[in-house]
Amino acid sequence: MSNILVVVLVVCLVFLIPVLLPPTKKKRKRYGIKRAQLRKQTKQANIQYSNNVLFTVLKIINSSYDPLPAVIEYLRKIEPFVFEEFLLTCFQRQGYKIVRGTRYTGDGGIDGKVYIDGRLYLIQAKRYSGGIKLAHLQEFGAVIKKNKCAGGYFIHTGKTGASCREFLATHPYVFLISGQTLIEFVKLSA
């Protein structure tokens, strides 16, 4: 009896494993699924989920005397790509024209773009649990200059140390949104 059970389990695994694994390049080709289609579907799902995140964050803000710790804790738990889409959704709901990136990785340090008063600003999103890295700010500043933009928004959930504040003081085109400023930014999206 136990031998039959083992055989049944092995047969089930043989048929279930290919179904549960993501499609290989060969299968994607056979079924006509292109990588670009998968990327687009994932992006659309993240945009939809970002609306749920906005609703949840606004609910936390409206139901708490001091919402900052709860909002930051919640935002640190969501997927990084959803965090990017959430921020772009906030800009969009505030009436700004946004440009969403076509990919999440290999984006050259640009998580999105926003037009404010006809001028182009870049967006960089970071879900930090500790202090932000000065190198990330410096790289973002260089990307802004390279793309000849009016400025950029570095938006994060971490802490801003003294060296980062010094950098920001000497680079006025890099705008920081974090902490209580992030709460106020989200409130404008209601």
23-32, 61-70, 96-105, 107-116 — which is least confidently predicted?
A: 23-32
| Whether the predicted model's global pTM rises above the 0.85 cut | no
Question: What local confidence, expressed as pLDDT, does residue 26 receive?
Answer: 55
The percent of residues above 90 in pLDDT, for the chain, comes to 51
Write the DSSP symbol of residue 157: S
| Cα 111 to Cα 107: distance, rounded to the nearest angstrom | 7
Structural domains of the chain, ranges and CATH numbers in brackets: 34-187 (3.40.1350.10)
Q: What is the mean pLDDT of residues 116-144?
A: 92
Residue 137 above 60 pLDDT?
A: yes
Angle between helical axes of 80-93 and 35-63 (0-180°, round to 10) = 70
The percent of residues above 70 in pLDDT, for the chain, comes to 75
Q: pLDDT of 62-103, one tens digit each?
A: 998 899 999 999 999 988 888 898 999 999 999 999 988 765
- Residue among 123, 73, 74 nearest 97 (CA): 123
C-beta separation of 135 from 102 below 8 A: no
Confidence band (pLDDT; 50, 70, 90) for 40?
low
Residue 189 above 60 pLDDT?
A: yes
- Which is more confidently placed, 121 or 18? 121
Mean predicted lDDT score pLDDT of the chain: 82
Residue 154 above 70 pLDDT?
A: yes
| Cα 6 to Cα 18: distance, rounded to the nearest angstrom | 19
Confidence band (pLDDT; 50, 70, 90) for 108?
low
Question: What local confidence, expressed as pLDDT, does residue 46 receive?
Answer: 75
Residue 58 above 70 pLDDT?
A: yes
